[in-house]
Amino acid sequence: MSITRRDFMRDAVAAATAAAVGVPLTSAEQALAKEAESGWRWDKGVCRFCGVGCGIQIATKEGRIVATKGDPDAPVNRGLNCVKGYFNGRIMYGEDRLTEPLMRMKDGRFDKKADFVPVSWDRAFDEMERQAKKVLDEKGPTGLAIMGSGQYTVPEGYAAVKLMKAGFRSNTIDPNARHCMASAVVGFMQVFGIDEPAGNYDDIEEADTFVLWGANMAECHPILWSRIANRRISSDAADVKIVNITTFTNMSSDLADLELVIKPSADLAIQNYIAREIIARDAVDKEFVESHCVFATGPYDIGYGMRADSSFAYDAEKDIQAKELEVKLDRFEAAGQRREPGEVVKQTNRGSAGKHWTISFEDFKKAVEPYTLEFVTELAKGDPEETVESFREKLEALADFYINRDRNLVSFWTMGFNQHQRGSWVNEQAYMNHLLVGKQARPGNGAFSLTGQPSACGTAREVGTFGHRLPSDMVVANPAHRAKSEKIWKLPSKAINPKPGSHINKIMRDLEDGTVKFAWVQVNNPFQATANANHWITAAREMDNFIVCSDVYPSVSAKVADLILPAAMIFEKWGLYGNAERRTQAWREQVPPPGDARSDVWQMLEFAKRFTIDEVWGEQKVPGLKAEGYEDGKLPDIRQAAREMGYKPDSTLYEVLFANDANRKVKWPDPVAKDHENHTAALLGDGWFPEKALFDEYTQFGRGHGHDLADFDVYYRDDVRGLRWPVVDGKETQWRFNAKYDPYVKAPDFEFYGKALKALPQGDLDKVTNPEKSGLAGKAKIFFRPYAAPVEQPDENFDLWLSTGRVLEHWHTGTMTRRVPQLHRAVPTAQAFVHPDDAAARNLKRNDVVWLESRRGKIKAVLETHGRNRMVRGMVFVPFFDEGVFVNKLTLDATCPLSKETDFKKCAVKVYKA
Amino acid sequence: MSTYTGRREFLKRMAQGAGVATTGGLLWSFLLGQQRHARANMLRPPGALNEPDFAATCIKCGQCVQACPYGTLSLSPSGAEVPIGTPSFSPRDVPCYMCVDIPCMQACPTGALEHDLERIEDARMGVATIDHESCLSWQGLRCEICYRECPVRNDAITVENRPRRTSGHALFVPVVHASHCTGCGICEYVCPTEVAAIHVLPPELVQGKIGDHYLLSNDAEVDADGGPSASPAGDHDAVPGLEYLNEGER
């Protein structure tokens, strides 16, 4: 029997298939193909990758994603995506997707030295329970850790925080977002007393001057960059300018009108130069500053966030590690700190780096005085081939942009600022200059911190999945914040541990020294992404500990774990993300997870079933705990108080924290689902809708406090493409602190109403002179911060700077994008970008395989002298996505002492032929 | 597929064998009979002579294939679009990675690959051409992988920004400049679309030519001696149009 083309094409599915493979179709056949496509179920979603937060539309059919497209109604991206976003529909379908729990087993028992074998979920949870209870008994609650993520959905992050902080009474939970924007957070909290930007992406269409400080937006925020590009080339105002301040020429330089190639850490000095110019040219917006700002500073001798002792350092590391305790000032540092060059300064404020006090404007003026054009040119010029005159002219032009009253100026930054040994300082300095000239919290004017991860803002920060935080900007160290959280969470008083938990770098150090013995990795790959990785890999594999890794593909973190739990990916679960402009966006579960993979929410809730409050709410030891109302080193027994609240001793953490009476009223199924499934609710099987219940519970924290979110269902409405908080009376907020736009502002024009850190003593540039604290309600702080030299710099042995970062094609550690064959094919490996002269001086040429070696390790990479990043002499760049070119084996785990965010941009290496 | 691969492997191994390298010319000359005029869509190694000269000069010894460190080159099997036994590459499979020392060319014993190519950037193996309708960047997405991976980026491929009023997002469109394109094919290799939106083809299949009589006004300086002569040459007996003007109707 023969089938004609006509017969065959009558089948709409066949027509669609033919269309998909490129068989030419008649118009009638095209109509049939379209009919088949209409059988697809379309629904809105959010891109899985960066913090830009592009909206997408997802088509599914028979449990598979068949297509995606940029959402034309999404205000962020208007129907476009970058090439990573183009592959959203493919990231779940890599061949090595993890679909069943795997545990290191020998003879039917867990064995840390054995190979992985498949186990059941029950067997996996049995072992987790056994190991966690053993550690609780031996170490107390802080021996348990979660390494979380800025890629958590809001409900996931909330479940994790609640499980740890309310359930286990451990604050040892910290996200990879610590590596990404902790310095930005400190900047916001110190300057404004409330986290997250005043402005939003609409600033792009309102501004005429864009200054990029350590942000390669062309590659790392591609869709925002195309908005800036559009503004640059099509503005009728015509005079739109872009400035790129960077340590080497990157792809953002291609569109820049002014490029400043600077030395690492010289941004600190350049900011002070701009401030000095603003004052010298009498350009301070006096009315704005007097009404809305105060001046402040803090200690300079704050260390570099390294360990204080060398007991775990390799021999080669000890010289740098010793600088944690005392530093010999170079002449540039000395000038800014009003000391003598060569003076050795003990780092006495290592433990109190964040303290600060108000100073007078006269003191501020005196502090920036040394940062003259000549001084800063000498300090900052990064390209040895550039002339002094040329660089000096550029600095002046940069200051002109800030000072020119007719210019609307937005500063953007990401990791160049945040991953910085003085990251919090340089963030504060960004606001310093915007506040001095009154270019803040106005449309088209503002300092805007971009984020790297899709929900670094929405989850890690707003939900508070950090060691020191609670939801909505609250902190565990504050008794009132603990009391409020205990009330919302229906916990006995003193349930929450007042001692801030370890930051993520410290969790790694805790694994190395045995302080933490149970760690659960969720939605990230910290063993590849943490600096100085050789230490932590050894700690994971050689120390007596138990590491659980929930993951979707076999990552480095999965490889060094003891138990691997297969996780559901973004479109296989319900979720919400919050992007860098405070926009909360939601999606439904589109397709079921493969095999036995399950959502992180389900994993945490199932684990919570394994613990009764009787087991975890007794007296607990917490080494180092010192807080008012608490016995040293101990959390009190709260079991009796729990009983009085109506909890039974054998109530599980699942029943108390999650499936409690209030949450069970949020029923599954729910009309908001339309015809979408929820595998988490189905597997729990007790009739509630965990993601919605958790989200709505979480919104109680922020409402009325400037963090207002809408109800869960609002974000799922067909006509909503995310809303920027605070959402008050159903209306989103574009510019915070500005009376025209922000319902929280009670003053006639501006009010920096954040409440944190708003009572300060007074002092001069070196110390507190009047310890009595006075209130600064409604004001922002203009900080003076001096230049500080990087703790490790090139020397005769390790003679080149190493910086790390991203490429457009890959996301983070490449666990998803490297599974997309087309992206892998485009950029299969991380190259070492080197200046051609540096290569020639070492007898190296393009495409040679070379060794890169630091004090901490060595790796091989292919040399690139003519790549997209055009290096200056003396500087090497290696992207971090590639586990085969494991650059974090080289990087230094020094951090900003305030934010504890690692500086991935500055360490010293040598390069030689492999 | 497997048959093709098998045969190609077989021929390649034959060609790469030392014995064949010295006596193979006879065999290939024989086989070449019917194939001589096949159209070449495949790309030749760097430094290759123009196609007729190359076909005549290449002795199909396979030494360039052996010298290539990336496995880019292969000897064409019987029935392919290029003369059997001659080296070529298909960039969507393996592009030319533009070795600085051009080992394939250095290995050529006959000069079919001209040894006077000093810089690999001066090689002209082909020219890239973009299908705007399937190119993600031309459609407004932020891809530009071809541009970023181009070894002579900013010369052979540039990115032009164009406003896109419908969304307020500028286009970043890659544009090929044949005068600098080596034809290495890395762009075609890395293009992420299902079928590559950028293809490298032999220059003669892609490039047009503006008439010599007209110079684009933005094209540098005009060669004072090289322009067309001021008036048509020739004796008066053959003045064009004269016959027409002088006949009848006077």
Among the listed residues A44, A84, A439, A905, the single catalytic one is A84
- pLDDT value at B220 more than 70: no
Q: Helix (H, G, I), strand (E, B), or coil: what is residue A86?
A: helix
Structure tokens at A749: 């024009």
User: Do A712 and A805 have their domain in common?
Assistant: no
Write out chain A residues lying below 8 Å of B140, CB-based.
79-80, 226
Cα A819 off chain centre by? 23
What whole-number distance in Å separates Cα of residue A817 and Cα of residue B60? 41
* Interchain contact, A234 vs B163, CB within 8 Å: yes
Chain A stretch 10-69, residues whose beta carbon is closer than 8 A to a beta carbon of chain B:
22
Closest residue to A83, CB basis, from B99, B145, B189: B145
Write out chain A residues lying below 8 Å of B145, CB-based.
83, 808-809, 826-827
User: Do A477 and A443 have their domain in common?
Assistant: no
Largest CA distance in chain B: 82
Query: From B167, which residue of chain A is nearest by alpha-carbon distance?
Result: A78
What string of DSSP letters covers A306-368?
Answer: S-SS-TTS-GGGHHHHGGGTEEE--HHHHHHTT--TT-EEE-TTGGGTT--EEE-HHHHHHHH
Write out chain B residues lying below 8 Å of A85, CB-based.
141
Among the listed residues A147, A181, A189, A604, the single catalytic one is A181
Q: Does B171 touch chain A (CB under 8 A)?
A: yes
Write out chain A residues lying below 8 Å of B187, CB-based.
none
What whole-number distance in Å separates Cα of residue A672 and Cα of residue A586? 12
- pLDDT value at B166 more than 70: yes
Chain B: closest CA distance from residue A16 (Å): 16
User: Do A636 and A717 have their domain in common?
Assistant: yes
Q: Does B189 touch chain A (CB under 8 A)?
A: yes
Please report whether residue A793 resides in a domain: no
Write out chain A residues lying below 8 Å of B165, CB-based.
234
Q: Does B133 touch chain A (CB under 8 A)?
A: no
pLDDT of residue B84: 82
* Interchain contact, B161 vs A205, CB within 8 Å: no
* Interchain contact, A846 vs B100, CB within 8 Å: yes
**What pLDDT band is residue B39 in, cutting at 50, 70 and 90?**
very low
- Three-state SS string over A445-505 comes to EEEEECCCCCCHHHHHHHHHCCCCECCCCCECCCHHHHHHHHHHCCCCCCCCCCCCCCCHH
A407 strand-pairing partners: none
For residue A284, CA distances in Å to A278, A396, A783, B234 come to: 6, 17, 15, 81
Q: What is the pLDDT of residues B56-97, one digit of tens each?
A: 999 999 999 999 999 999 998 877 667 788 999 999 999 999
Buried b (16+ CB within 10 A) or exposed e, A389-405: eebbebbeebbebbbee
A293 strand-pairing partners: A780
Write out chain A residues lying below 8 Å of B162, CB-based.
233
Q: Does A229 touch chain B (CB under 8 A)?
A: yes
**What pLDDT band is residue B236 in, cutting at 50, 70 and 90?**
low
Query: From A821, which residue of chain B is nearest by alpha-carbon distance?
Result: B192
User: Do A595 and A688 have their domain in common?
Assistant: yes
User: Do A892 and A815 have their domain in common?
Assistant: yes
Which helix (H) or strand (E) segment holds residue A565: the answer is strand A563-566
* Interchain contact, B142 vs A78, CB within 8 Å: no
**Residue type for position B6:** G
Among the listed residues A9, A82, A92, A180, the single catalytic one is A180
Q: Tally C-beta pairs within 8 A across A and B.
A: 98
Q: Does A205 touch chain B (CB under 8 A)?
A: yes
Residues in chain A: 914
Domain count, chain A: 5
Q: List Cβ neighbours of B188 (8 Å cut-off, separation of 6 or more).
A: B91, B92, B95, B128, B146, B196, B198, B199, B200
- pLDDT value at B151 more than 70: yes
What string of DSSP letters covers B119-155?
Answer: -GGG--S-EEEE-TTT-TTTTT-B--HHHHH-TTBTT
The packing angle between helices A600-608 and A121-139, to 10°, is 60
Q: List Cβ neighbours of A441 (8 Å cut-off, separation of 6 or more).
A: A198, A199, A735, A736, A737, A738, A750, A752
Q: Does B99 touch chain A (CB under 8 A)?
A: yes
Write out chain A residues lying below 8 Å of B136, CB-based.
83, 86
What whole-number distance in Å separates Cα of residue B44 and Cα of residue A767? 73
Q: Does A73 touch chain B (CB under 8 A)?
A: no
The packing angle between helices A600-608 and A690-702, to 10°, is 90
A652 strand-pairing partners: A612
Q: Does B175 touch chain A (CB under 8 A)?
A: no
pLDDT of residue A133: 98
Write out chain B residues lying below 8 Å of A229, CB-based.
161, 169-170, 172
pLDDT of residue B239: 79
**What pLDDT band is residue B116 in, cutting at 50, 70 and 90?**
confident
* Interchain contact, B145 vs A227, CB within 8 Å: no
What whole-number distance in Å separates Cα of residue A144 and Cα of residue A700? 27
Please report whether residue A263 resides in a domain: yes
Weakly modelled stretches of chain A, pLDDT under 70: 1-37, 235-238
Query: From A826, which residue of chain B is nearest by alpha-carbon distance?
Result: B190
Cβ atoms within 10 Å, residue A874: 19
* Interchain contact, A845 vs B100, CB within 8 Å: yes
**What pLDDT band is residue B212 in, cutting at 50, 70 and 90?**
confident
Query: From A222, which residue of chain B is nearest by alpha-carbon distance?
Result: B142
By residue range, what is the domain housing residue A421?
A: 193-297+356-452+755-783
Domain limit, last residue, from A93, A126, A147: A93
A533 strand-pairing partners: none
Rounded average pLDDT over B111-135: 94
User: Do A113 and A72 have their domain in common?
Assistant: no
Active site residue A128: no
Domain limit, last residue, from A707, A724, A741: A724
User: Do A547 and A619 have their domain in common?
Assistant: yes
Residue with structure tokens 């019987």? B78
Residue of A165, A51, A163, A156 whose CA lies nearest to A469: A165
* Interchain contact, B141 vs A70, CB within 8 Å: yes
What whole-number distance in Å separates Cα of residue A694 and Cα of residue A155? 6
Report the first-to-last Cα separation within chain A, whole angstroms: 64
* Interchain contact, A79 vs B165, CB within 8 Å: no
Q: Tell me the pLDDT of chain B averaged across its residues.
A: 81
Query: From A807, which residue of chain B is nearest by alpha-carbon distance?
Result: B148
Q: Does A808 touch chain B (CB under 8 A)?
A: yes
Among the listed residues A415, A508, A569, A816, the single catalytic one is A415
Where does residue A862 rank: exposed (0-12), middle (13-18), buried (19+ CB within 10 A)?
middle
Active site residue A199: no
Per-residue DSSP letter, A247: S
Residue of A557, A566, A469, A462 whose CA lies nearest to A519: A557
Backbone phi and psi for residue A787, each to the nearest 5 degrees, phi listed first: -65, 140
* Interchain contact, A847 vs B97, CB within 8 Å: yes
**Residue type for position A82:** C
Chain A: closest CA distance from residue B95 (Å): 12
pLDDT of residue B228: 47
Mutation site, A205, A866, A877, interface B, largest B CB count within 10 A? A866
Write out chain B residues lying below 8 Å of A255, CB-based.
161
Chain A: closest CA distance from residue B119 (Å): 14
Among the listed residues A214, A298, A416, A452, the single catalytic one is A452
Please report whether residue A181 resides in a domain: no
Domain CATH for A382? 3.40.228.10
Active site residue A875: no
pLDDT of residue A33: 67
Query: From A74, which residue of chain B is nearest by alpha-carbon distance?
Result: B167
User: Do A410 and A444 have their domain in common?
Assistant: yes
**Residue type for position B150:** C
pLDDT of residue A17: 55
| Stated pTM of the model | 0.91
Cβ atoms within 10 Å, residue A106: 12
Closest residue to A82, CB basis, from B142, B149, B153: B142
Please report whether residue A736 resides in a domain: no
Alpha helices in A489-617 (DSSP H): 504-513, 526-529, 533-542, 556-559, 600-608, 613-616
Structure tokens at A521: 């990795």
Per-residue DSSP letter, A134: H
Where does residue B210 rank: exposed (0-12), middle (13-18), buried (19+ CB within 10 A)?
exposed
CB contact at 8 A, A48 and A54: no
CB contact at 8 A, A52 and A223: yes
Active site residue A1: no
Per-residue DSSP letter, A115: P
Residue of A496, A494, A490, A495 whose CA lies nearest to A659: A490
Please, where in chain B does CATH 3.30.70.20 lie? 127-206
Fold classification of B127-206 (topology level): Alpha-Beta Plaits (3.30.70)
Q: Does A83 touch chain B (CB under 8 A)?
A: yes
A832 strand-pairing partners: A863
> Looking at A524-538, A544-558, B5-19, B225-239, which range is the least confident one?
B5-19
Q: Does B110 touch chain A (CB under 8 A)?
A: no
* Interchain contact, B145 vs A826, CB within 8 Å: yes
CB-side neighbour CA atoms (13 Å) of A317: 22
* Interchain contact, A227 vs B161, CB within 8 Å: no
Chain B: closest CA distance from residue A797 (Å): 29
Write out chain A residues lying below 8 Å of B151, CB-based.
866
Residue with structure tokens 């005029």? B37
